[in-house]
Copies of this chain bind each other. A is one copy, B any other.
Amino acid sequence: MVKINQNFARLPQSYLFSDIAHRVDAYAAAHPHQKVIRMGIGDVTLPLPCAVVDALKSASSEMGSKETFHGYGPEQGYPFLREAIVEYYRREMGVVLKPEEILVSDGSKSDVGNIVDLFSPDNTVLIPDPVYPVYRDTNIMSGRKIVYISADSHNAFLPLPDPSVKVDLIYLCSPNNPTGAVYTKDQLAQWVAYAHEQEAILLFDAAYERFISDPALPRSIFQIPGARECAIEFCSLSKTAGFTGMRCGYTVIPMELSFPGPLGEPISLNKMWVRRQTTKFNGVSYVTQRAAQSVFTPEGLEACDKNIHYYRENSQMICSLLAKKKIEFYGGAHSPYIWLRCPGEMSSWDFFDFLLENAAVVGTPGSGFGKNGEGFFRLTAFGSRENTAEAMERLSPLL
Contacts and interface: CB of A to CB of B under 8 A. Distances in A.
Interface of A: 1-6, 8-9, 11, 14, 41, 43-50, 52-53, 56-57, 60-61, 63-66, 68-73, 106-107, 109-110, 113-114, 117-120, 122-123, 133-134, 137-138, 141, 168-169, 198-201, 242, 244-247, 259-263, 267, 269, 272, 275-276, 278-288
Contact of A281 (B14, B69, B113): B113
A168 B3 contact: yes
Nearest to A170: B2
A120 B64 CA distance: 43
Contacts of A64: 47-50, 52-53
A245 B63 contact: yes
Contacts of A269: 4
A143 to B, nearest CB: 9
Contact of A69 (B46, B73, B106, B120): B46
Nearest to A44: B71
Contacts of A288: 285, 287-288
A275 B11 contact: yes
Contacts of A244: 71-72, 282
Contacts of A133: 279
A270 to B, nearest CB: 12
Nearest to A236: B282
A66 B50 CA distance: 12
A285 to B, nearest CB: 5
5 contacts: A1-B198, A5-B117, A6-B261, A9-B267, A53-B60
Contact of A285 (B47, B123, B168, B246): B246
A281 B118 contact: no
B113 A280 contact: yes
Contacts of A113: 279-281
A385 to B, nearest CB: 12
Given A65-B47, A69-B48, A247-B283, A2 B60 contact: no
Given A247-B282, A247-B284, A141 B48 contact: no
A7 B280 CA distance: 15
A46 B66 contact: yes
Contacts of A123: 2-3
A49 B66 CA distance: 10
A6 B284 contact: no
Given A6-B261, A43-B71, A69-B45, A281 B120 contact: no
Given A44-B71, A141-B276, A280-B114, A120 B5 contact: yes
Q: Which 3 A-B pairs have the closest CB atoms?
A: A113-B280, A53-B64, A1-B199
A259 B2 contact: yes
Given A57-B57, A69-B48, A134-B280, A2 B168 contact: yes
Given A247-B285, A280-B114, A285-B245, A272 B72 contact: no
B43 A63 contact: no
Nearest to A53: B64
A133 B246 CA distance: 29
